[in-house]
Amino acid sequence: MTQAFRPATVLVLKLGFIGFVLACAVVIALARWRMAPPGAGTTAISQPIRFSHQHHAGDDGIDCRYCHTSVEKSRFAGLPSTDICLTCHSQLFRDAPALAPLHESASTGLPIRWNRVHKIPDFAYFDHSIHISKGVACIECHGRVDRMPVLVRVASLEMQWCLACHRSAPQHVGPLSDVFLMQDKRPLSAQEVTQLNRMLHLQSTRRLTDCSTCHR
């Protein structure tokens, strides 16, 4: 039987197909990289002041809510205002060169421009307050920040990571009294999981994984 294409033509078609597949892979990888929030893995984000969560939350034991004042009542946890920082630093280390941006902010009235470490794409809806009220501890998403001299993002914050939690929500919640504790979560018994599920009125897995839950 006579071949429809000459060998040279077949080779060109094969190379063209391979090139197309490789181009698609590059485009997809580039899109994922551009959509991914900054600070993945161990990458530290530069900040105007070298703030240490290890020192403030770990050594000094400052509660998360002291700086992130809206975390229990808003979608956003909030960033500390200059006034909050000066509650301590109007007296402590006030002449430290590292705190010069803080005092400049106080004198000019311009807020400090902190750089976001945990950022979710605009097309995804996330509410801190509902997670807090359902017993999701800070360390569940942010890790042990009390051990971080420089804050880094430990969770991917990608869709599949969120869905993995929503598919097994009872396994990722705990007593409300433990939400802001900086300590490793203790394993819960099956009875405790059932009691928490009932007490916290967790939604069904179908509702938690519905597209409209995070894309509104």
Q: What is the domain count for the chain? A: 2
Residues 124 and 204 in one domain: yes
| 108 and 173 inside one domain | no
Ranges of H-type helices in 77-137 = 82-89, 100-108, 128-133
Q: What is the largest distance, in Å, between two alpha-carbon atoms of the chain?
A: 92
What pLDDT, on a 0 to 100 scale, did the predictor assign at position 33? 57
Residue 25, in any domain of the structure: no
Residue 188: its pLDDT value, please? Answer: 82
157 in the same domain as 96: no
pLDDT of amino acid 196: 86
75 domain-assigned: yes
Clarify whether residues 89 and 161 are in a common domain.
no
Ranges of residues in the chain whose predicted pLDDT is under 70: 1-5, 10, 31-42
Same domain, 129 and 164: yes
In a domain, 125, yes or no: yes
Residues 109 and 203 in one domain: no
Domain that holds residue 106: 80-113
The pLDDT value recorded for residue 111 is 94
Residue 68: its pLDDT value, please? 96
Q: Report in angstroms the alpha-carbon separations of 80 from 5, 51, 67, 77, 177.
A: 69, 11, 5, 10, 23
Q: What's the pLDDT at 179?
A: 95
Domain boundary among 64, 89, 113: 113
What is the per-residue pLDDT for 216? Answer: 87
The pLDDT value recorded for residue 207 is: 95
pTM metric for this prediction:
0.77
pLDDT at residue 191, as a whole number: 86
For helices 100-108 and 82-89, angle between their N-to-C axes, nearest 10 degrees: 120
